[in-house]
């Protein structure tokens, strides 16, 4: 069972107070030397001079989850522009979907590499978008609270590109893929690594990840390479964020940029084999 914040019972969370062990949501997190404290334990400590989380996120600002809300809003807006497939009775493919989905042959023939990112904002049905937006809300708010807006957004972009690039590289050129799950699987991996780094209980996220991997390999219409690609890139970015000191901003940014450059190079090489 996924734990709920002890102060906000309607909010699921994977983070616990390092002192009392009670589960806490992003609004209740108080940055500590290791991990986070709940409000009560935080009040007993010496007033915190730091305004940033352990991994460098600006705690007071990041708790608002602004980037997560924007990402969810973009996905919902894109779903409407797709004609709300599965909700309106229309098909799952219209002109808007065709212009922005991950379609291998279009990337290769027309150099439309933007599709490797835009596909993450499209969805094939109402259950598809509901499940992904729930996962984005649950994991996104917590990761944004820990990492801060810029690092968190970079993780989303890298995960989306990583998943869709692997799907493109290992596909036959006619692969069509949509969904934010590429980035969400990156969140799973990064969250686990960061949780281990902060010495907080990571068993719950492993259970959720295991369930999602089981679902991935149980249905033929799920882009398995997309999920695995997002997971792999999320692990790499998570390692960068967790073990490169947050004060080394340029080093962290350089590591993320290097990952993105390698993904782009892989996509270009794949395109050369298709045209």
Per-residue pLDDT of the chain (275 residues; tens, 9 = 90+): 667 888 888 887 878 787 787 888 877 877 675 567 888 776 665 444 445 555 656 655 445 789 999 999 999 999 999 999 888 766 667 899 999 999 999 999 999 999 999 999 999 999 999 999 999 999 999 999 889 999 999 999 999 999 999 999 998 888 899 999 999 999 999 999 999 888 887 888 999 999 999 999 998 889 999 999 999 999 999 999 999 988 888 999 999 999 999 999 999 999 999 87
Alpha carbon separation from 176 to 66, 70, 265 (Å, rounded) = 30, 25, 20
- Domains present along the chain, CATH in parentheses: 1-50 (no CATH), 62-274 (1.20.1540.10)
What lies within 8 Å, CB to CB, of 81 at 6+ separation is: 96
Collapsed DSSP state (helix, strand, coil) of residue 248: coil
Q: Are 164 and 102 in contact (CB under 8 A)?
A: yes
- pTM check: above 0.75: yes
Q: What is the DSSP letter of 221?
A: T
């Amino acid at each position: 069972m996924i734990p709920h914040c002890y102060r906000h019972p309607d909010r699921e969370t994977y983070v616990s107070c390092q002192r009392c062990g009670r589960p806490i949501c992003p609004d209740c997190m108080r940055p500590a030397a290791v991990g986070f404290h709940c409000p009560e334990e935080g009040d007993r400590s010496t007033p915190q001079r730091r305004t940033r989380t352990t991994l460098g996120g600006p705690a007071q600002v990041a708790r608002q989850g602004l980037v997560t809300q924007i990402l969810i809003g973009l996905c919902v807006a894109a779903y409407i522009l797709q004609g709300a497939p599965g909700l309106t009775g229309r098909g799952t493919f219209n002109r808007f979907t065709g212009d922005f989905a991950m379609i291998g042959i279009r990337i290769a023939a027309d150099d439309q590499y933007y599709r490797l990112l835009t596909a993450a904002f499209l969805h094939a049905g109402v259950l598809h978008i509901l499940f992904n937006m729930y996962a984005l809300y649950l994991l996104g708010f917590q990761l944004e609270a820990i990492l801060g807006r810029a690092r968190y957004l970079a993780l989303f972009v890298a995960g989306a590109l990583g998943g869709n690039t692997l799907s493109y590289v290992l596909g036959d050129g006619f692969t069509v893929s949509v969904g934010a799950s590429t980035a969400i699987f990156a969140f799973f991996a990064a969250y686990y690594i960061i949780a281990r780094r902060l010495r907080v209980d990571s068993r719950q996220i492993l259970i959720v990840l295991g369930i999602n991997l089981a679902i991935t390999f149980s249905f033929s219409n799920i882009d398995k390479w997309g999920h695995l690609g997002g997971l792999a890139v999320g692990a790499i970015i998570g390692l960068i964020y967790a073990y490169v000191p947050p004060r080394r901003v340029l080093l962290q940014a350089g590591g993320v940029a290097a990952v993105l450059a390698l993904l782009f190079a892989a996509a270009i090489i794949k395109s050369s084999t298709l045209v």
